[in-house]
C-alpha cells in the first residue's frame, strides 16, 4: 500500500499566528477586540452589495421591466463607477427566464416566493462576482465559474429519477422531503403522520385558506434573515432563481416525532457529461429550505445532497432556520455530490432565548464546496454546537466559512472543525469567526479546528478568528495543522498494532470523531463508508482495517 502520510512540505497557510496544537484558554478582559488575528477583518461578504445599496429599493412586482433595465437604472444612481457586472446580469436574466409562468402562481406561498425573487434580483445586480481580493474569497477560487456556460436546470416534467433506494436512510425512520433540481417532488416526498399544525412541504402549496395564522406568519421569514446576517452574491442568485422552497414548520411546543430527511437531487440536465469534449456546460439548480421552530418546538433535520453521477451541475442552495425561544433544532448535513459538481450553500440561523441549535456536517463531494454558515443570537442563554468535517481529495476544494454572533449574555457555543486533505491538488479552507459583542457577558465559547494533511503539497487555509468585545467571557480556541498524534500512534504500536495499520485507524478515526456525532446511525454508517472508500482509493488508509462500520 502506498501511503503518503507525511505532512512535511505541505503548503500550510494560516492567517493567524497560532500553530500550536494545544487549546489555549483565553480569559479576556478588554474593551477592544482582544483576540484578533492578522487579516481577521469583518467578513467582506456582500460588502459590495451594501456599498451599492445607495440604490433605492424599488418594490418591483414580477411584471416590472426587464432585469437589464432595472440594473442599468440602478447603476446610474450608484456610486460604483465600475458599472454592472455583465456576467451576473446575463446569469440573472437566465435565472429569471427559467421560472415558468405557472410557478408564478397565486397561493400565499407562491407570492412570498415571487417577492423573494424580486428582492434578490435587485441585490444580485448590485453585486460583483467575488475574487481573491474579497476577504471572504481570498483562498477560494470561484472565478472559474465565469468561464463555464451556466444554465438553470430545466425543470419541466421529466421522469422522476430513481435514486431514493440509494440514499442509505430507511424511509420508515424519517419524514422525507425531496427536491429534484430545486423543485419539490410530491411523489418522492413522504410526510404522512405529521403532528397537527406542523407542516413539511412545498411553499407553493401553502394558501391563505389552508394555512393557520402561525404558518402564514412563518412565511414572513422567507428571505429575511436576522439583522447582522451577512449576505453574499450566491444568496441573491439563489433567491433570484428559486423555483420552489421547502417549508418545515413546527408550531409552538410541538416535538416532531421523526427526523425530517431533506434530499436534494441534482440531475444535471443540460450540463456536460464528464470527460465530454470541450464540455463547459454546467446546470444550475437553486433549492431553498425554510425552517421555523416556534417556541418550545423541537425538530431534527437531515439534509442530504446527492446527484446524477458524471454530470456537471451546480447546486446553489439556501437554508434559513429560525429557532424561537426554548426551541431546539438539530441539523445534520451530508454533502455527497459528484466530484465534478459545484456546491455552494448558505445556512442562516437565528436563535431565540434558551434555544438550541446543533449542526453536524460532512462535506465530501464536489469539486468546489463552499458553505457559509451564520448563526445570530437573538436572546440570552443559547446553545450552539457545530461539528463539521470535510474531505478534500484530488482537485477538490472544501470551504467552510462559519460565523457566530453573540449579542446576549450566557450563550454557550462549541465548535469542532476537522478536515483532511489527501491529495496535493486538494484544498481545505476554514474561516471560523466567533464574535462576542458588548452585551454577551459570561459567554462560554470554544472553537477547535484540526487539519490533517496527508499528501505533499496539500493545502489548507485556516483562519480561526475570535472577536471579543465583552469583558467577562470564557473563550478557548485552538488550531492544529498536523500529522497524526505521535502518542496515539505509539499507543497502537504498544498494543501490537503495526504503524501502518495504526495510521489507517487514526486517519479514519480523525473523521469518525465528527461522523459519530451524527444522530442517525444509518447516515453515520453511510458516511463512514464513503469516507473510508475515498481514503482507501487515495491510498491513505488500508481498507481492511477493522475500525468503524
Partner 1 sequence: MASCSSCCQHVATPGVGGFAAASRRETRAAGVQVVGAGRLQLKKGAVCGEELFRGQSLQGLQRRVRRSGGSVAVSANALAAQLQEERAEKPSEARVILEVQGLRAVVADTRQEILNGVDLVIREGEVHAIMGKNGSGKSTLSKVLVGHPDYEVTGGTAMFKGENLFDKEPEERSHCGLFLSFQSPVEIPGVSNMDFLRMACNARRKARSLEELGPLEFYGFVAEKLGALNMDPKFLDRNVNEGFSGGEKKRNEILQLSVLEADMAILDEIDSGLDIDALRDVATAVVGLKKENNAILMITHYQRLLDYITPTYVHIMEEGRIVKTGDMSLASQLEAGGYNAVQNLIAKN
For partner 1, the binding residues (CB under 8 A) are 485-488, 490-499, 501, 505-506, 508-513, 516, 545-548
Residue 545 CB, shortest distance to partner 1, in Å, is: 8
Cβ-based nearer residue to partner 1, 200 or 545: 545
Residue 513 CB, shortest distance to partner 1, in Å, is: 4
The residue whose grid cell reads 460583483 is 128
Rounded Cα gap, residues 396 and 380, in angstroms: 39
Residue 420 CB, shortest distance to partner 1, in Å, is: 12
Cβ-based nearer residue to partner 1, 159 or 494: 494
Rounded Cα gap, residues 365 and 370, in angstroms: 11
Cβ-based nearer residue to partner 1, 353 or 485: 485
Q: How many CB atoms within 10 Å of residue 521?
A: 11
Cβ-based nearer residue to partner 1, 70 or 387: 387
Cβ-based nearer residue to partner 1, 493 or 537: 493
With residue 417 as reference, give the H or E element that holds it: strand 412-421
Residue 493 CB, shortest distance to partner 1, in Å, is: 4
Rounded Cα gap, residues 186 and 204, in angstroms: 12
Rounded Cα gap, residues 523 and 85, in angstroms: 41
Residue 536 CB, shortest distance to partner 1, in Å, is: 16
Q: Which residues pair with 281 in a beta bridge?
A: 149
Cβ-based nearer residue to partner 1, 89 or 421: 421
Residue 548 CB, shortest distance to partner 1, in Å, is: 7
Neighbouring residues of 44: CB distance < 8 A, sequence distance ≥ 6: 134, 135, 136
Cβ-based nearer residue to partner 1, 162 or 486: 486
Residue 492 CB, shortest distance to partner 1, in Å, is: 8
Residue 546 CB, shortest distance to partner 1, in Å, is: 6
For the residues of 138-186, what is the DSSP string, one character each?
SS---GGGGGSEEEEPP-S--PPP--GGGGSS-TTSSEEEEEETTEE-T
Cβ-based nearer residue to partner 1, 41 or 549: 549
Cβ-based nearer residue to partner 1, 180 or 541: 541
CB 273 within 8 Å of CB 283: no
Chain centroid offset of residue 518 CA: 16
Report the half-sphere exposure of 353 (CA within 13 A, side-chain side): 3
Cell numbers describing residue 462: 485556516
Q: What is the dihedral of CA 129, 135, 136, 140, to 10 degrees?
A: 80
Rounded Cα gap, residues 195 and 103, in angstroms: 28
Rounded Cα gap, residues 338 and 282, in angstroms: 13
Residue 505 CB, shortest distance to partner 1, in Å, is: 6
Amino acid at each position: 500500500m502506498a501511503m503518503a502520510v507525511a505532512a512535511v512540505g505541505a503548503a500550510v497557510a494560516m492567517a493567524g499566528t497560532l500553530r500550536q496544537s494545544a487549546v489555549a484558554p483565553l480569559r479576556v478582559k478588554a474593551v477592544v477586540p482582544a483576540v484578533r488575528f492578522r487579516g481577521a477583518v469583518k467578513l467582506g461578504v456582500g460588502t459590495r452589495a451594501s456599498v451599492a445599496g445607495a440604490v433605492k429599493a424599488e418594490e418591483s412586482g414580477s411584471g416590472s421591466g426587464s432585469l437589464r433595465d432595472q440594473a442599468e437604472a440602478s447603476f446610474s444612481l450608484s456610486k460604483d463607477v465600475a458599472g454592472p457586472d455583465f456576467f451576473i446580469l446575463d446569469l440573472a436574466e437566465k435565472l429569471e427566464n427559467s421560472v415558468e409562468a405557472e410557478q408564478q402562481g397565486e397561493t400565499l406561498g407562491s407570492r412570498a416566493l415571487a417577492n423573494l425573487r424580486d428582492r434578490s434580483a435587485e441585490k444580485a445586480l448590485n453585486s460583483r462576482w467575488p475574487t481573491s481580493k474579497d476577504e471572504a474569497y481570498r483562498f477560494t477560487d470561484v472565478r472559474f465559474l465565469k468561464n463555464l456556460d451556466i444554465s438553470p436546470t430545466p425543470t419541466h416534467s421529466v421522469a422522476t429519477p430513481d435514486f431514493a433506494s440509494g440514499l442509505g436512510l430507511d424511509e420508515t425512520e424519517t419524514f422525507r422531503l425531496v427536491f429534484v433540481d430545486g423543485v419539490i417532488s410530491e411523489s418522492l416526498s413522504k410526510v404522512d403522520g405529521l403532528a397537527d399544525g406542523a407542516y413539511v412541504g412545498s411553499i407553493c402549496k401553502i394558501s391563505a385558506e389552508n394555512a393557520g395564522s402561525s404558518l402564514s406568519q412563518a412565511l414572513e421569514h422567507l428571505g429575511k434573515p436576522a439583522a447582522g446576517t451577512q449576505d453574499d452574491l450566491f444568496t441573491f442568485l439563489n433567491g433570484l432563481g428559486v423555483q420552489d422552497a421547502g417549508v418545515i414548520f413546527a408550531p409552538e411546543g410541538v416535538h416532531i416525532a421523526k427526523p425530517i430527511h431533506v434530499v436534494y437531487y441534482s440531475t444535471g440536465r443540460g450540463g456536460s457529461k464528464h470527460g465530454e469534449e470541450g464540455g463547459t456546460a454546467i446546470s444550475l439548480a437553486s433549492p431553498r429550505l425554510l425552517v421555523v421552530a416556534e417556541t418550545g418546538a423541537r425538530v431534527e433535520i437531515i439534509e442530504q445532497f446527492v446527484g446524477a453521477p458524471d454530470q456537471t451541475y451546480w447546486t446553489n442552495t439556501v437554508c434559513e432556520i429560525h429557532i424561537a425561544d426554548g426551541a431546539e433544532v438539530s441539523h445534520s448535513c451530508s454533502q455527497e455530490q459528484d466530484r465534478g459538481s459545484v456546491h455552494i450553500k448558505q445556512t442562516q440561523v437565528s436563535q431565540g432565548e434558551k434555544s438550541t441549535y446543533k449542526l453536524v456536517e460532512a462535506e465530501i463531494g464536489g469539486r468546489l464546496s463552499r458553505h457559509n454558515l451564520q448563526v445570530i443570537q437573538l436572546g440570552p442563554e443559547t446553545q450552539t454546537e457545530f461539528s463539521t468535517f470535510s474531505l478534500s481529495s484530488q482537485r477538490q476544494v472544501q470551504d467552510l466559512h462559519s460565523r457566530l454572533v453573540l449579542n446576549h449574555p450566557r450563550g454557550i457555543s462549541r465548535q469542532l472543525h476537522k478536515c483532511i486533505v489527501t491529495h496535493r491538488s486538494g484544498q481545505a479552507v476554514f474561516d471560523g469567526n466567533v464574535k462576542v459583542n458588548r452585551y454577551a457577558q459570561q459567554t462560554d465559547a470554544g472553537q477547535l479546528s484540526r487539519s490533517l494533511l496527508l499528501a505533499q503539497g496539500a493545502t489548507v487555509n485556516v483562519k480561526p478568528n475570535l472577536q471579543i468585545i465583552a469583558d467577562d467571557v470564557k473563550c478557548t480556541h485552538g488550531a492544529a495543522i498536523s500529522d497524526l498524534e505521535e502518542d496515539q500512534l505509539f499507543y497502537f504500536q504498544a498494543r501490537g498494532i503495526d504503524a501502518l495499520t495504526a495510521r489507517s485507524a487514526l486517519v479514519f478515526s480523525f473523521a469518525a470523531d465528527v461522523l459519530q456525532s451524527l444522530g442517525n446511525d444509518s447516515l453515520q454508517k453511510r458516511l463512514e463508508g464513503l469516507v473510508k472508500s475515498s481514503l482507501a482509493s487515495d491510498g491513505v488508509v488500508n481498507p481492511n482495517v477493522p475500525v468503524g462500520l
